[in-house]
Chain A
């Protein structure tokens, strides 16, 4: 077996496959993470509703939302994304949706990409809901009372006091979801989303160069997750206003930065 030879053939003849795969994987992970965060905020609100003891007219709309959000969270976190993707594919096909006709011919976005984006976003939403809920619970009640004593209403308190702090405190966990998404978007190959694993597999099958091709995509995944980790550390670093210098090498070796 000539691995070096396989490498040069794969990268030389099929380099564009990997590049497209990288673009698709980055797109899936970013849309999935930010879309999931946005929807996850609503999911967290839904789960935090407290209809008990309220007026009947309020209970009438709050109960269904709360139950829906809780069920959503349990079901989507309790089943594999691969299975969710397949169910989504066949379910929507039965309803007559033709995913491959949407954005036909647009690079990266064509084929099953739109379906993939929806699946990864809906899946991430469930996890983000948990993260934001924990973040909201973590903001001390005193600040809420402080805001209330000034006359701020619940929405104002949410948007100006609790939510910004919940998100800020959750950035490490939110970032972790991004890294998980970079890796786990690979399962979307089951519905033919042309992400990195799918493209690497396609390149490999052209000449039976499987080991070399999977090694290439493994290295690419590793590089992507390391870069993502670095970006996240940098963001945290900036937000904490730390005085010491940020060094990318620290990311690789998990050096702890000293508390200010």
Chain B
């Protein structure tokens, strides 16, 4: 039995079909990345797993229990499936340490002292122990995202869900966050990562899932997805993404011309 089994999940928002018949298993210790173009339903899938959205149909079996069943303790499930968001979503009224402590005390009912110790340990892991008394507004974007990861780790989740954790960051801060995520993957943390960082998908993840228009189009090892799979939609997505900005400009001779002419 896999740790997480998504079976035929569909999700509509009113008339818009966002997810269609998604099935996917995630094993303990696996690092799965989800790639796909904007609007393909990646975030919605993650949010369904964390129950921030209620799937329209299907089953999500987590640790042997269908978490969509009535009577399942929603908040307990969420605490075991921590989420890291693109926009950090830290609590602005608390300092770094309290951000990491509050969930432990309120949800896991740990005592304060123990929670602080655990928070300090996880902040150390992400390299921010010296910032633990800073206010959220006084730290950089990269630091915020590392705090968000520490906050998630403090819950000792079975799976961490990342929704484009580096997309809102300035380029020079992307690597400090990816480095932390790589360490987590190396330590066999189960994680599902929605990302536009193709290098992360290629080099770090055990498995890559390509989504398009609400369905899983391809699912396999990084080598399979990036080198072997010949699916047309995947190919067009990869070539679109892989071209550098310079190459894209070169494809437009007129634009390129006007630049040189003006010189």
Contact = CB atoms under 8 A, between A and B. Distances in A.
Q: Do A and B bind each other?
A: yes
B91 A151 contact: no
Contacts of B78: 148-151
A146 B80 CA distance: 14
Contact of B90 (A146, A148, A152, A160): A146
A152 B106 contact: yes
The majority secondary structure among interface residues of chain B is: mixed
Interface in B62-87: 74-83, 85, 87
Nearest to B106: A156
B89 A152 contact: no
Interface in A154-170: 156, 160-161, 164-165, 168
Contacts of A152: 75, 102-103, 106-107
Contact of B89 (A146, A151, A156, A168): A146
Contact of A151 (B90, B107, B148): B107
A66 B102 CA distance: 31
B75 A153 contact: yes
Given A156-B106, A160-B102, A160-B106, A149 B82 contact: yes
A146 B76 contact: no
B179 to A, nearest CB: 23
Interface string A42-68: 000000000000000000000000000
Interface residues of A, number: 17
B11 interface: no
A165 B74 CA distance: 25
Contact of B52 (A143, A148, A160): A148
Interface in B28-85: 50, 52, 74-83, 85
B93 A164 contact: yes
B146 interface: no
Contacts of B231: none
B252 interface: no
Given A150-B107, A151-B79, A151-B155, A145 B89 contact: yes
A145 B52 contact: yes
A164 B102 CA distance: 14
Nearest to B98: A160
7 contacts: A142-B87, A143-B89, A150-B155, A151-B79, A152-B103, A160-B91, A160-B106
Given A142-B88, A164-B93, 4 more contacts: A146-B85, A149-B89, A151-B76, A160-B102
